[in-house]
Every structure is written in C-alpha cells, then in structure tokens.
Structure 1
C-alpha cells in the first residue's frame, strides 16, 4: 500500500517535471544572460530590429519594427528571468522529489525487506540448531554452533531494526513535507502570475511611446478616417482627398458630361484612393479620368465615419427643409449651416463653392444643381439609423437632395467669401480662381450669427431669434432686398441676378 502510494507520487511528480521542462524555451541549467540569448523571443526581437534598421526611420513599418523589437527584447529578458526562477524554485525541488527522495525511500523499503528475509533465515537456522542441541553427539561443538548462529541472528535483527527505524523516520519526514511538496504547484502559478504582471508592465511602459510615434506619422489613410482627426494629423484646413479631387476636376472635369453620375472604372478608382491615402501629390495620371476623380470624391464623403453635415444636426437639417415658406426655409438652412463645427463648415463651404461652379457649366456637363444634389446629396448627410444603405437612402434622400440643391443654387448667399481652391499650394491652379455661382450678383453684408463674428454664439442666436430675417420678393422682378437687423444696425442685401423662382422654391 505504502509502496504503491510512493510510486504514484513519484510518477506524477516526474511527469509534471517533464512537462514543465518542455514549456521552457531557454537552455535548461543556463544563467539569465545565456538563456536570454537563446530564447525565440530574442531571435524575433533581433530580426525586427534588423528589419527596422534596413527600412530606416523614413518608413513607418521600419520605425514600428524598431520600437516593437525593443519591446520584444524586454519581454525576452523577463521570460529568461522567469524561467531561471522556475528552474530554481520549482523544477529542481520536484526533480529532487521524483528522482532522489522517493526512489531512496523505495530502496530503503526493499533493503528492509531483504534484511527481514535474512533475519528470518538466521532465526530458522538458530531454532533448528537449538532443537538439535540436546541430542547432539558432540554437545560442545553443537553449543559453539548455536552460539555462532545466535550472534548472526542478533546482528541480523539489529540491522533490520536500524533499517526499519530509518525507514520509519524517512516516511514520517516525507509525510510531514507533503504539504511543502504540494506548494510547488502553487508556487508555479504564483510565479507565472508575477511573470505576466512584469511582462504586462514592461509592455505598458513602452506602448504610449509606440502609440505616440504612430499617431505622429502623417501617412495614414484618409478614407474612413474622421475629418477632424485627418485634418489634425496632416495640419490641413481642407481634407486632402477633397482638395486633390476638386483641383483635378477644376483642371479637366468641369465640362465632362455626367460628372459624379457616370461610374468610374473600379481599378482606376481603387488606385486613386490608394494614392490619396498615401498623401501623395503625384496625381498627374488621374487628370485624364475625371469620372475616377469624381468617384473618389464621392467615396471619400461616403466613407467618413460621420457625414460632413454631421449626425448631430441631422434633425435640424430635416426640420429646416420641411418649412413650407421658401424664404424662411432658406433662413433656417443658413442657421443650421452656421451651427456646423468649424472643420465641417470650412470643408462644406469649399465643396459647395466648387459644386456651384460646376453647375454653371450644366449646359455642357448636364449636371444642374438638381442633378448634382441627387447623386452627391446622400453622401453628405444620412441618418445614424441602423439598416441597409438602401433603407437609409430611402428615408433621407428626398430631404437631403432638396437641401443640397438649395445650397448649391444659393452658394454665394450661404458663403459670400471667395474660395482659393488651391489651399495647400500642392496643386497646379486652374485658369480661373474665382468662384461664381448661380447667384452671380453682388452681396455686400455681414451675417448675423456667423462664425466670423467676435460675439458669443449664445448672444448671436438670441439676437437672431429676436430679429429674424425678412425677405421681400417680387416674382416679376430680378431684384431681391432683404433687411437684417443686427443689434441696432440694419444691413441690406442685393442680388441683381437672383433666381426669380426664389420665392417659390
């Protein structure tokens, strides 16, 4: 029973030790430094460092390989320390138990069994000699033999008792240490927990630096990136895809029939989007394909995480478009437009001024403000509602199209300032820098509540509510006069060629 239990403990301890050794990745028995050099993580770290050095700091991949390679080296060092600790505090004691302590007990047990057999054999001889002594012919010789056998028996018994006492002491010692042996497995888990904590702390100490360097890298995709994040990362005022596409279209696409409506070749569009994602200004090959450029512009607007006209103002846009009175509808749309975040408003103004310029060529390109609004509007504003693209388009397209058409037709009224389309100076400037639209008259006034005012937003909104704009329109006249009350100042707006149908939009 005892032997079987000891053998089971020895066997399971041996198997556990064997499996633990298999988990080690360094050379068993080596110190921390030597083990560190042989770890697979160290080899990975060195490979990454070499790759980073080969690619250089000009490459984001190279830079990330370098800093991440250093992080892997730190992890390898933590692993080498962990493995040395495991070997010292757990593996060696388990090996001692399985290969030395328990085998010694089993050997003592077998030795005691042999001594017992020896004692029984001598004892049987002694009893036989004692029985034969009274009838022996040579009593003196028999007595001497009996005494010799008795001495052998006493010596065998003494050895047996000594071995039995030693075995009993060792067994008691083993039983008293069983709790200590069991603790080796607890120590294993605790050591692993401590190793992982140190490894996690090592990674977390370098992650901010890695993330910071990655965030500073400007060559990040523009498509699918939030507008403000892209502008901040690139230190731009107008999103690169927006400026690049518009500059190319101003150069070669203004008279292209069906612009934004006719689909571009998929491969060319994919190539252009990839080029824009790399922030390159080498786009000469795409000037000859305006439809691919227009497609890339539409794709950029659609892939924004939030529409250019924002989720936050979605309800305000829709409510403004539902106003029946055409003049009040324009006023309401202007108010909502002025509520756009600065980056969104700047880029929206840039786009609208271009679309108004494009609509001037509608006799040639067939893209009236209405047609432009139909194909481009759903890419500028959509609901946050979950569902398919078709469902989303169905719920918003009618309202959005009417909003965009109105804003394009009255672009100079919404945005009276001229726009320099070549904002960054990266692109060749088209022949005509001006930005006329369908309101080609003169506009000389300052708007209430505009972001250019130095007054607070709250005071501007309150004053607007107190003194709304009032339009006076004569359907038979091409002159519209609108008075705006700003504090005590009255400002008159005149547009000599404003569309006569303004009052019936």
Structure 2
C-alpha cells in the first residue's frame, strides 16, 4: 500500500508541478500526534518491564497452568524441601523442635509461593493486559485513522491536479471540457469533505487518548496496589506463623539447663519439687549409691564423663535410670558445675556483703545473722528451697565422714566458692582470708541445717523427680497452605 501511494504521488507531481500539496494535519494536531508517539514508547516499555519478572508469563491462568507456575517458584521449591527434610527428621526424632519448625515453615513457603503466583497473574491480566489493549487496539486505531487521512489527502491532491489540468485544457479551447470540469469540481468537494471528516475523527481519537492520561497513570498505581497486597499478605501470614513457631520452641524452653537462672529453670519446667533438676537428679543418685565414697566433692572426676553427663542433662536426656555407671565423683562434679554456672549465686547476688559481715560475727550473733539472711526478702524463695535441699544432703555426707573423709569443714571449703561470690567482683572469694571466713558460715549451716530449716517439712530426695524429656510433638506435621496448589485466579 505504501509503495502504491508513493507511485501515485510521483504521477501527481509529474502531471502538476505547479499544484500545491494539501496539509494533512495542522501544527497543533501534529504536536498531539508527536505526543501520542511518546505515549506509545512509554506503554511499550512499561509492558515489557512489568512482564519481565512474571513467572510463567503468557502460559495461561487455568488450574494446570497455575500449578505449573507455582511449582517453578523459589518459595515453593524451598517449602517442599524444608517440609520433606522436616518430615524425615520427625521420623527419626518425633520430639525434634527443629523438625516441627521445618514442616511449619515449609507450609508457609508454599503459601508465600501461592501469593506470588496470584500476584503474577493479577499483574499479567490487569496491568500488562490493559497496556496490551492500548498497544494492540487504541494506538493502532489512531494509526489506521492517520493512514486513512493520508490516502484521502492523496486523493484530494489528485482531484486538484485533474481539475487544474482540465481548466488548463479549457483555456486552450479543448471541446467538451466544461462538463468534465463540473464533475471534477464535485469529486474535489466530495474528497475534501472526506478529508475534513477523517481529520476530525482522527483529532477526536487522539484527544480522547490524551484524556486517558490519568487512566494510564492509574494502571501504574494499581501495580503498586498489587505489590502492597502481596507484601501485606506475606507479612500477615509470617506474623501469624511467629507465635506458632514460638509455641513449638517453647516446648524446648529452658534448654540448655546449665547457665539458666534458677527461677526460670524451675518455672519453665514446672518442677513440682521446686529443686533444680541437676541437683535433685545427682543427689538422688548419690543417696542411692551411698555416701561412704572417699573424697566426695573433693576428688576430681574424669573430664570426658563429666562433659557427657552435662550434655545429657542439657539435652533433657538424663534420668535416674540413665545414670547407671556414673561414679560418685562425676555426680558431685556436676553439682559443683551447675552451682558455679548459675547467673546469680545460690546464696543471693545482692547479699554478698551481708554474708561477709555475718561471717565476721561470733557466737549467737552469727547464728542470728545467718537466720536473718536465709529469711531475707532479698533471698528468692527458689534459692531458699534449693539451699535447704543441698545442705540437708551435705549434712548427710558428714554423717559418713569417717569413711568419706569429708567433714563439714572439708565440705565447706570446696562448696563455698560455688554458692557465694560477688557479682560485682569486689572481692575474690578464693582469697584465703575472705574464702576462709565465708567457709565458716557454710560449715555452720551444714552442721546446724536442722536448726536453720526447722520450720520446713522433711525432704524426700527423689520426690517429684520426673524426667524432663524433650519437647513433645504438638503440631500437625502435614503441610497445609492457606491457598492450595492449583487455585485459579
């Protein structure tokens, strides 16, 4: 078509060199046409960029197509992997918190993947789709109108040329030209009307398109809305998952045990006895083994055996029955290690100076000072119960001192650094002078524990000594996304 129009133009130019060519569009409409050309470039770029990041773009939005899109997303692949290895770990260890978390997070990843697919399809159908309509329908209609106008302009110029030629022939006296001139004038008027109408239609179409500027801006704004909804959905689902994960992890709260605050340890495990598990476990086993072993609390144990038992307790795997084969010195080493690693000393972090002052008292004043400190509001009741339990046991050890060689004085020397120390590092309890006077206080409590705890009920060593166990599986291990695979949009 373009070549035929060019040939037509050539013929007109050859026949009428003096004819003035008609103008298709005035300057104002030419400016509008140029602006629309820029809009076309903008829409083409937007369509390309918006579609570049869409998974499975142009592959359909029916159920099977959505499934294929979903399975290609990174979140879905990650979610399947996490859930699979989580279920594998659950088969090996049904109490594994890690396994439960992996399964839960795997399901969440599947939900995030579905959110992404829904977002992709929304952007494809609405954002890219609307831009596609502009590029495939609206702008081509304007272009077609311009081409139609160009054709009528050529016809108009041709009609003018023919009329000019007929008038020239009339001037030269050619016969019968008058009637032909009348027809040519009618053709020229008819073509001129077509040009005017086509120009008006084209101008209207271009102006209508320009009036859609806000609508086109709304397409971009809608893209941000889709992005915001995606982020909101993801954020909401992740936020809902956090308490669930915390609930799973809370079943393992309190592990590891060593280094945990006494109050937290008793509370988290809901220990009915009120006694720290490592203390009650090891003391109950020592009572079972007998207390006539020489050097209790003084002789060192094999480091590897101590390390292993500590690890078993920290993992919640140690029970009375599992301690078969543990010797006395491993058990006493665990007791000292547990006491030494408490964040605050058993005798109270705020009372160090008070214990030091009490140690410098004599006679009944020392008795009264110890009594007052044990009853002090600054000594937590959890600490008090565990002091009672521990020193009742240490008193029992002294009853076998002829065989185990551990008198109250000997026990006090090795126990004192593990139950009294300065949290401010003001004094070094290992200092001979300081350690010596504090050991006298500890020795007195060992010897007179029945007097200092006269109002307390009798201790049963292994009462309420239940295995801590591991976290029990409390969640559904099936992956159930909130939006199931294959959902159509």
1:147 to 1:297, Cα distance in 2 relative to 1, 3 A:
same
1:346 matches 2:385: yes
Distance in 1, matches of 2:445 and 2:259, equals 25
CA-to-aligned-CA distance 1:319-378 (integer Å, 9 cap, x gap): 4234x3343022211221234444432321222233334456667656554443343322
**Which residue of the partner structure matches residue 332 of structure 1?**
369
TM-score by length of 1: 0.65
Is the CA contact (8 Å cut-off) linking 2:281 and 2:319 kept in structure 1?
no
3-state SS of paired residue (2:168): coil
Is the CA contact (8 Å cut-off) linking 2:272 and 2:464 kept in structure 1?
no
Distance in 1, matches of 2:180 and 2:259, equals 112
CA-to-aligned-CA distance 1:295-342 (integer Å, 9 cap, x gap): 2111211233433223354454334234x3343022211221234444
CA drift at 1:184: 0.6
> 1:167 is matched with which residue: 206, 223, 229?
206
Distance in 2, matches of 1:206 and 1:92, equals 35
Q: Name the structure, 1 or 2, with higher relative contact order (CA <8 Å, separation 6+).
A: 2
CA-to-aligned-CA distance 1:259-296 (integer Å, 9 cap, x gap): 444544332212111223324223445433x3332221
1:280 to 1:123, Cα distance in 2 relative to 1, 3 A:
same
1:148 to 1:70, Cα distance in 2 relative to 1, 3 A:
same
1:368 to 1:297, Cα distance in 2 relative to 1, 3 A:
same
CA-to-aligned-CA distance 1:437-496 (integer Å, 9 cap, x gap): xxxxxxxxxxxxxxxxxxxxxxxxxxxxxxxxxxxxxxxxxxxxxxxxxxxxxxxxxxxx
Is the CA contact (8 Å cut-off) linking 1:240 and 1:279 kept in structure 2?
no
Distance in 1, matches of 2:156 and 2:436, equals 115
CA-to-aligned-CA distance 1:208-258 (integer Å, 9 cap, x gap): xx72x765679954333443444452433433321332344452674334x
1:30 to 1:384, Cα distance in 2 relative to 1, 3 A:
farther
Unaligned runs of 5+ in 2: 1-33, 468-489
Instruction: Tell me the number of residue pairs that the alignment of Structure 1 and Structure 2 aligns.
Output: 411
Which is further off, 279-288 or 329-338?
Answer: 279-288
CA-to-aligned-CA distance 1:28-79 (integer Å, 9 cap, x gap): 72569966985727636864784587358xx3227x8568846864775586
CA-to-aligned-CA distance 1:11-34 (integer Å, 9 cap, x gap): 135313433x34x99x97256996
> 1:272 is matched with which residue: 288, 309, 312?
309
Distance in 1, matches of 2:185 and 2:386, equals 121
Question: How is 1:350-361 mapped onto 2 (pairs within 5 angstroms)?
Answer: 350-359=389-398
**Which residue of the partner structure matches residue 225 of structure 2?**
187
Question: How is 1:4-83 mapped onto 2 (pairs within 5 angstroms)?
Answer: 4-19=38-53, 21-22=54-55, 29-30=61-62, 38=71, 40=76, 43=80, 47=84, 50-51=87-88, 54=91, 59-61=94-96, 65=99, 69=103, 73=107, 76=110, 80=114, 83=117
Unaligned runs of 5+ in 1: 428-505
Distance in 2, matches of 1:37 and 1:178, equals 30
1:198 to 1:243, Cα distance in 2 relative to 1, 3 A:
closer
**Which residue of the partner structure matches residue 121 of structure 1?**
154
Is the CA contact (8 Å cut-off) linking 2:394 and 2:446 kept in structure 1?
yes
Give the root-mean-square deviation of aligned CA atoms. Answer: 4.5
**Which residue of the partner structure matches residue 294 of structure 1?**
332
Is the CA contact (8 Å cut-off) linking 1:281 and 1:426 kept in structure 2?
no
TM-score by length of 2: 0.67
Question: How is 1:395-414 mapped onto 2 (pairs within 5 angstroms)?
Answer: 400-414=438-452
**Which residue of the partner structure matches residue 130 of structure 2?**
97
Distance in 1, matches of 2:82 and 2:280, equals 42
